A and B are shown apart, each in its own frame.
Chain A
Amino acid sequence: MSDLDDVHRDDEPLARALKRAADAAGRATLPEPAAVVAARGLRRRRRNLAAAAACAVCLLAGSGAALGLRLQQSGPVPPASVPTYGSPSPADGSGTPSYAPPPPSTATPSGSPTPSFPPPPPPPSPSPSLSVSLSVTPTTPHR
């Protein structure tokens, strides 16, 4: 307890000296009138409100523009694969084919390069009967 008292006794001159210095500094200042401080506070509040309103407007405008762009981009989508038949301009990939491509069937459509008449007979080849007869005829009687 005596140590604590000693500490407090030591602190008192220090506290007095510091308070004296603070009072001297406070007396040396010339503070602005309270009305000026209030006016500055009012201006500051208005500035903060204006900044907050501008931020809100920018945020709303930005989200509206982003939403508009997104809606504009969601139109007709080109097909994932380019159709092989029936497309008037398959290169650009726009539009859908007017009719479905014909199924790959065995029936030949008219105008196709496949001939409709039977093929001509093949040219005559040496008949096997002649060869046989030739091979048989050289029989001569032996006398």
Chain B
Amino acid sequence: MTDDEFEEFYAHSVKPLVGQVYLMTGDLHEAQDVVQEAFVRAWGRRGGLDRGAGPEAWVRTVAWRLAVSRWRRGRRAAEAWRRHSHAHTAEAPAPDPGTVALVDALRGLSDRQRRVAVLHYVCDLSVDQVAHETGISAGTVKTHLSRARAALAPRLQEEEHGV
């Protein structure tokens, strides 16, 4: 992939990728940050991005791993704060009031279920492709999809009925 092709790929896919990662992480700023960082890393290896599942899947996977890594680091820092300072006992901040009910419901899912649901429903990947990208078996992907669907369906009906 040349520099021009990379710029075209970036301009074409940065916004959809931010949206997908936002649904996976539940934090728009975090999603924007990790997607930018993933594109920076992709520029360094743009010669081999076309291999495998494609450049978009590569950037999405790297962004997801960056988000998970940051989330773990932040959780460890919060635990350390709680351990060493009894004054900082506040929990994680509540979701923004403007967030839609569906995104709230997505936040209630586990990380894996959320990722699998976004890859299947938003990125239009098949069960096998989701299994390949996430590294879990197809049966587990189906189980996660079923549980995610069961958790999201009531919120979806609320949204459709305007509740």
B20 contacts partner chain A, Cβ-Cβ < 8 Å: yes
In the complex with contacts A14-B156, A40-B40, A34-B11 CB distance below 8 A: yes
> Is A29's CB under 8 angstroms from B149's CB?
no
- In angstroms, Cα B157 to Cα A10, docked, is 11
Give the chain A neighbours of B160 by CB distance below 8 A.
13
> Is A29's CB under 8 angstroms from B28's CB?
yes
Q: Which of A33-48 contact B (CB under 8 A)?
A: 34-35, 37-38, 40-42, 44-45, 48
Which residue, A10, A28, A41, has most C-beta atoms of chain B within 10 A? A41
Q: Which of B26-70 contact A (CB under 8 A)?
A: 28, 31-32, 36, 39-44
Contact partner, A22, options B14, B20, B40, B41, Cβ 8 Å: B20
Contact partner, B22, options A13, A17, A25, Cβ 8 Å: A25
Minimum CB–CB distance for B8 against chain A, Å: 9
* The 6 A-B residue pairs with the shortest CB-CB distance in the complex, in nearest-first order: A41-B43, A22-B19, A26-B19, A26-B15, A25-B22, A34-B7
Give the chain A neighbours of B122 by CB distance below 8 A.
15, 18-19, 22
B152 contacts partner chain A, Cβ-Cβ < 8 Å: yes
- In angstroms, Cα B65 to Cα A82, docked, is 67
Contact partner, B14, options A23, A25, A31, A42, Cβ 8 Å: A31
- In angstroms, Cα B22 to Cα A24, docked, is 10
B3 contacts partner chain A, Cβ-Cβ < 8 Å: yes
Q: List 6 A-B contacts (CB under 8 A).
A: A13-B156, A31-B18, A31-B32, A34-B7, A37-B43, A44-B41
Total contacting residues, chain B, CB less than 8 A: 38
Give the chain A neighbours of B6 by CB distance below 8 A.
34, 38
Q: Contact mask A5-23 → B, CB, 8 Å, 1/0?
A: 0000011011101110111
Contact partner, A25, options B18, B39, B43, Cβ 8 Å: B18
- In angstroms, Cα B14 to Cα A25, docked, is 11
A27 contacts partner chain B, Cβ-Cβ < 8 Å: yes
B108 contacts partner chain A, Cβ-Cβ < 8 Å: no
A3 contacts partner chain B, Cβ-Cβ < 8 Å: no
**Other A-B pairs, 14, CB within 8 Å; known A21-B23, A31-B14, A44-B40:** A11-B149, A14-B152, A17-B159, A22-B23, A25-B19, A25-B28, A26-B19, A29-B15, A31-B10, A35-B7, A37-B10, A37-B40, A40-B43, A44-B41
